[in-house]
Amino acid sequence: MSGRTGIVEGWVSNVKSVGRIAFIEVIDGLQLSPITVVVKREQVDPETWTVATGVKIGSALRVEGVFPEVVISRKGREIQATKITVLAEPLELPPIDLTGKTPASFDLYIEYRYLALRLPRFRAIFLARSKLIGFAREYLSEQGFLEINTPKIVGAGAEGGATLFALDYFGMKAYLSQSPQLYKQMLMCGVPRVFEITPYFRAEKFSTPRHLNESWGLDVEMAFINSEEDVMKVLEDFVRGAIRYLRSEMGDDLRANGLELLEEPASIPRVPYSRAIEILNSMGFSIQWGDDLDTQAEKALGEYFQRQGYPMYFITQYPWDAKPFYIMKEGERLSKAFDLDISGIEVASGGQREHRYAELIANLRAKGLNPAEFSFYTQAFKYGMPPHGGFGLGLDRLLMTLLGLSNIREVVLFPRDRFRLVP
């Protein structure tokens, strides 16, 4: 044998013997296709040959051998074994087919996610997730944003709503954070640009393919802005850059596993809320000004813009009454808020915030909230708070829409919804 010596460690995904040669496919590292372990009877000791021909699918192996200069395996990678060590083998039949030939149910793939990660499609999804998060950090750091970590046990909700998980905090009422909104705004008094990759907790009884009770998001806030358009430009550049990055890093691998990455748009149009209502009502909906756009309306709007050649779009100038207290008003009825929708699914929302102390207090009262309960937050607005804005983006939803998947649980390792608390 000629070539470079080395070691491969991983799990057996397939075994086949042909005469005096055994072939063992092993999923190793973060590879999306197995490496073929070639074992020739005349080139190994009897013990190694016995191991090679009797190894069980699912076993964890260490293979010592030579990487040949000429590879004959159709999988593209090969090692010619000189020694094989079985580190662990399954004690019972795996609940999902580790060869990938027989599909399992959706729920089984979630319940046994740790096994499903040996299959190329699932590896591809979560490798893409990791790369997306890595790109977010790199992009925002290069744009002068400081990565922060805010509390996840809080004394007040970001939106003052009832969708909070309550807990006892040494005799005091506390909640799991639904958003770092208030904290990232407070930091605008001392740092001009921040971001956080963070979990969100929502105590709503969701039963949809796009909602979870624990999800992960990217929160961004930036000061010294002229309008919400400054924020939208950062978000647009990030999303387009993320698509380019994923396509360059693993576009071929995604396609090979049945995952078609969304095309990068040349631009993302801005659509005023009033115009969105006009479009929907022309399609047979009956939406009054000020109404929320429900799932069916969002889907229909997404299909409309898809036909126009726009898979993603911003909805702008929402009614202020429909937005949280911290959003700045535009005139008497409108707000400086926006949503980003991709394929008819809201993946981000943001806008310019109210940075003026007196107006912020008035906003709290207008929403029926007690300013005293938010004094820890409003205090920061007394000390030279500049105009600022930001957005919160659902990383789970973003990846789901970019990969064309239909259920958010496909991109979350261990989903938490109203029916899942384990594993």
Catalytic residue among 137, 202, 247, 270: 202
Q: Any idea where the domains of the chain sit in the sequence?
A: 3-88, 120-411
215 is catalytic: no
Per-residue pLDDT tens listing for the chain (423 residues): 568 999 999 999 999 999 999 999 999 999 999 999 999 999 999 999 999 999 999 999 999 999 998 887 777 899 999 999 999 999 999 999 999 999 999 999 999 999 999 999 999 999 999 999 999 999 999 999 999 999 999 987 666 556 899 999 999 999 999 999 999 999 999 999 999 999 999 999 988 999 999 999 999 999 999 999 999 999 999 999 999 999 999 999 999 999 999 999 999 999 999 999 999 999 999 999 999 999 999 999 999 999 999 999 999 999 999 999 999 999 999 999 999 999 999 999 999 999 999 999 999 999 999 999 999 999 999 999 999 999 999 999 999 999 999 999 999 999 999 999 999
211 is catalytic: yes
- What would the two tokens of residue 147 be? 């990565």
Is the separation of the CB atoms in 38 and 79 below 8 Å? yes
User: Can you point out the beta strands (E) in 179-306?
Assistant: 193-201, 214-223, 270-272
Q: Residues annotated in the binding site for ATP, as ranges?
A: 202-204, 210-212, 346, 394-397
264 is catalytic: no
Is the separation of the CB atoms in 351 and 338 below 8 Å? yes
Is the separation of the CB atoms in 403 and 261 below 8 Å? yes
Helices H / strands E in the chain, number of each: 11, 18
Is the separation of the CB atoms in 80 and 1 below 8 Å? yes
Burial 337-366 (b: 16+ CB within 10 A, else e): bbbbbbbbbbbbbbbbbbbeeeebbebbee
Which residue's entry shows tokens 């019972």?
92
- Alpha carbon dihedral 138, 140, 143, 146, in 10-degree steps, equals -110
Catalytic residue among 9, 47, 147, 204: 204
193 is catalytic: no
Is the separation of the CB atoms in 156 and 182 below 8 Å? yes
Is the separation of the CB atoms in 236 and 396 below 8 Å? no
Catalytic residue among 211, 355, 388, 409: 211
DSSP 292-339: ---HHHHHHHHHHHHHTT-SEEEEE--BGGGS-TTBPEETTTEESEEE
Q: What is the pLDDT of residue 155?
A: 86
Whether the model clears a pTM of 0.85, i.e. scores above it, the answer is yes
Q: Residues annotated in the binding site for L-aspartate, as ranges?
A: 159, 202, 349, 353
Q: At the topology level of CATH, where does 120-411 sit?
A: BirA Bifunctional Protein; domain 2 (3.30.930)
3-state secondary structure of 184: helix
Which H or E run contains 132?
Answer: helix 120-142
Other beta carbons less than 10 A from residue 203's beta carbon: 17
Catalytic residue among 25, 111, 346, 354: 346
Catalytic residue among 349, 354, 388, 410: 349
- Distance CA(256)–CA(260), nearest Å, equals 9
- Distance CA(135)–CA(114), nearest Å, equals 25
204 is catalytic: yes
Is the separation of the CB atoms in 121 and 32 below 8 Å? no
397 is catalytic: yes
Q: What is the pLDDT of residue 3?
A: 80
* Residue 115 backbone dihedrals phi, psi, to 5 degrees: -85, -40
Q: Residues annotated in the binding site, as ranges?
A: 159, 202-204, 210-212, 346, 349, 353, 394-397
- Distance CA(143)–CA(68), nearest Å, equals 45
Which CATH superfamily, name and number, covers 3-88? Answer: Nucleic acid-binding proteins (2.40.50.140)
User: For residue 315, what are the β-bridge partners?
Assistant: 271, 339
42 is catalytic: no
